Amino acid sequence: MAAPVQHDVVIIGAGPGGYVAAIRGAQLGFDVAVVEREVALGGTCLRVGCIPSKALLESSHRYQEAKETLGEHGVLVDGVRADLAAMQARRANVVKQNTDGIEYLFKKNKITRYLGDGKLTGDRAVSVTAPDGSVTELVAEHVVLATGSEVATLKGVELDDEVVVSSTEALEWDAVPASLVVIGAGYIGLELGSVWSRLGAKVTVVEYLDRILPGMDSEVAREALRVFKQQGLEFELGARVTGVSVTGKGAKRTASVAIDGREPVVGEKVLVAVGRRPATSGLGLEDVGVALDDRGRVAVDEDFRTNVAGVYAIGDLIHGPMLAHKAEEDGVVLMERLAGQASAVHYALVPGVAYTEPEIASVGQTEDQLKDGGVAYRKGVFPFSANGRARAIGSTQGRVKILADATTDRVLGVHIIGPRAGDLIAEAVAAMTFGASSEDIARTFHAHPTLSEVVKEAALAVDGRAIHI
């Protein structure tokens, strides 16, 4: 048997956690190798998650604009039609540009790439089984687990990849379903529900809780629910799904989603979007004794160390929100710590964004959390409807809400529903990372006329001195 190939760092998984860690590690002078079973680099996010969904959200939004709102701008278009094949080709092309980009970055940073399934086999040892069955043994000073997450399933619900599907298949349909039942009103359910609703499907979202977007500020979530209903999405909240049955043959198949104590909801397709779970299977964790926590995640300390020497884990595999930007920060900080630097991830300030229309974004504590924690706070709210730029672009739904400590004025949470909320939240994240007060934001120049002035006005509103309302 050939001697194992030696690297400083071997990373299993080339998603946003793994590939960013690889690049940062290479920048710091490590000899880095990445093991990835998919030909395309970039993981779930680039191949079948964040990026393709944003491509389809954009295309479907433009189609809807052309049909419904361009007339307000005096732009008259007749006979608007959606060419789904072209949208899907564009989606695939956007994905390819991104995954090819990672390949380029790997070459640029001299990162070795192994195609195949990676598995821990012993002391800092990883075996790679290539698609042709050949096995390459690797050893490294540091082994990083970055395999991300997989779709969580539901008792009584079997995915068949055709009628009852996960987000992966729902991104690639070549025809618009007449009706779609989405199970789960989280990020995926609302984003993909929006895409297919805009393209003409009748969409019903079935959610276990009595609200949508759990974890987000409940006032913002209520406003979002109202807007989504206006857009034509239907909701069954507080609904416990007990099973899904598929009847009929071939193209005539339909699925019936059974709900405890209610009439079932029937659809041509069912999208199951009830969360994701850490992708720990097949990694050899049991063989080498890597411990999991009580929620099935890889247990790590603040240096991302598992209980096995030389083995680390980052991203969706460990604690914290399952978000690409959080995984990226984990990867960067791990590599910097391995290089002796003292960087840290600010877990309390990971922003969350739903890329619906309007977008919904938040950072820090929700009003619900402050109330529950008995924290005295002041609240500033400002609506986009009172902002000149929002009126000019014709996107006036939503508002910015800033929550600040009643005594110190330190910003504790910012919650935005409105146009470009996902971009606007960046200012709040930066301000909070620097420990800003609402007064700091209020005293900061915001160019006129921009949507960002709504953030400034909300900061002024904390002190009851917003100008334009």
Active-site residues: which are they?
448
* Nearest to ligand NAD of 279, 442 (CB atom): 279
Q: Which is nearer to ligand NAD, 206 or 335 (CB)?
A: 206
Chain residue at closest Cβ approach to ligand NAD: 186
Q: DSSP letter for 347, please.
A: G
Query: Do 331 and 338 touch, CB atoms closer than 8 A?
Result: no
Residue type, 269: K
Report yes or no: 402 and 379 within 8 Å, Cβ to Cβ. Answer: yes
| β-strands 149-151, 117-122 pairing | unpaired
Pairing of strands 399-405, 377-383: antiparallel
CA distance 112 to 110: 6
CB of 191 to ligand NAD, least distance (A): 6
Q: Is 169 helix (H, G, I), strand (E, B) or coil?
A: helix
Least Å distance, CB 450 to ligand NAD, is: 23
Residues that bind ligand NAD (CB under 6 A): 154, 183-189, 191, 206-209, 214, 241, 273-276, 321-323, 353-355
C-beta closer to ligand NAD: residue 355 or 377: 355
**Strand ranges in 51-116 using DSSP code E only, listed in sequence order:** 112-115
Q: What is the smallest separation between the CB atom of 165 and ligand NAD, expressed in angstroms?
A: 12
Three-state DSSP class for 259?
A: strand
CB 109 within 8 A of CB 27: yes
Are the C-beta atoms of residues 41 and 102 closer than 8 Å to each other?
Answer: yes
> In whole angstroms, how close is the CB of 293 to ligand NAD at the nearest point?
17
Map residue 352 onto helix, strand or coil.
Answer: strand
In angstroms, the CA 232 to CA 57 distance is 16
Identify which of residues 188 and 461 has a Cβ nearer to ligand NAD in the complex: 188
Number of neighbours of residue 195 by Cβ within 10 angstroms: 26
Closest distance of CB 330 from ligand NAD, Å = 15
Residue (184 or 418) nearer to ligand NAD, CB: 184
The least distance separating ligand NAD from the CB of residue 50, rounded to whole angstroms, comes to 6
> Which CB, 200 or 275, lies closer to ligand NAD?
275
Residue at token pair 């409940």: 218
DSSP state of 414: E
Q: 71-76: which pairs have CB atoms within 8 A and are 24 or more residues apart?
A: 72/394, 73/394
